[in-house]
Amino acid sequence: MSNTVEFAKMNGLGNKILVIDMRGRTDKVTPQAAVALNTDAETQFDQIMAIHDPKAQGTDAYIDILNSDGSKAQACGNGTRCVVQALAAETGKKAFTFQTVAGILNAVEHEDGTISVDMGQPVFEWNRIPLAEEFHDTSRIELQIGPIDNPVLHSPSAMSMGNPHAIFWVDRDPMSFDLERFGPLLENHPMFPEKANITLAQVISDSALRTRTWERGAGLTLACGSAACASAVSAARTGRTGRKVTIDVASSPIRQPLVIDWREDDHVVMTGPAEWEWSGALDPSTGTWSRDAERGAEAR
């Protein structure tokens, strides 16, 4: 078995993604390799999407997802769009079914290049999110940052989109908050036994939100697809918006909104772009890598 595999540096609305082709192999991308890749400015990423041979009949691939700290992630909507774009370019197919640790994901590439991913059904039960305390209504849980009589952030909506999310509702631009300071405290709060993605969400209209996310295992991120889904569902669940909204991801350099549709069948469908940047080869056990020769980069 060769020590190297092909990979692509991509992004989903700025969410930094490495798509690694592990098909035909029995090994996996190691946590050590993930950490090494993330320490290099060229390959720094939010999530690795490792494409493996399918495990279940009727699926196109099994996707193993790693965060930049080497930990496992259950879901990554922006990364899934990147996988779809990569495989569509390779195979000519437009529709795909993937298996992940969080379940089955169906996705399709549209004629305009945007990609829709069915992210599945949201989970609201406190013990399945999971939370450390029982809450009858998880659309507003007791949690705050700052002074008791004047908290900076408080009463988030909690839910799971395959991974745990806490959505804090804010009345001004999410970029105006010091999320780099609050994010680690909230991600690792005892309320979240499996940690949590922390999102600040501002309601722009009954069909539009503006968000910014501290991502579990990755930190400040330019975009997070599952957090956009969680924000949209939580906004509709609490009566702030309708069930179909556009998400302006405040931290993304790409000014194209995500469209989130919480359908009547309870499935959440996310539609947005994906972008290929460059490709190369890497060792999945160590993280050493090189760009494609025609790009003229040295091995790292």
Please confirm whether the linkage preceding 193 is cis (ω < 30° from 0): no
What amino acid is encoded at 140 in this protein?
R
Q: How far apart are CA 280 and CA 159, in angstroms?
A: 37
The catalytic residue among 61, 76, 83, 232 is 76
Residue 224 annotated to the active site: yes
Residue 76 appears among annotated catalytic residues: yes
**Active-site entry in 10, 158, 224, 230:** 224
Tallying the residues shown for the chain, one arrives at: 300
Determine which helix (DSSP H) or strand (DSSP E) holds 285, and give its type and residue range.
none
Query: Please, is 253 exposed, middle or buried when counting C-beta atoms within 10 Å of its C-beta (0-12, 13-18, 19+)?
Result: exposed
Alpha carbon distance 2, 15 (integer Å) = 29
**Residue 104 near residue 97 (C-beta atoms within 8 A):** yes
Q: Which contiguous run of DSSP H or E holds residue 287? A: none
**Nearest one of 228, 261, 256 to 245, comparing CA atoms:** 261
Cα separation, 240 vs 38, whole angstroms: 37
Q: Which residues contact 111 (CB under 8 A, 6 or more apart)?
A: none
DSSP state of 187: H
Identify how many contiguous H helices and E strands the chain contains and give both numbers: 4, 19
Q: Catalytic residue positions?
A: 76, 224
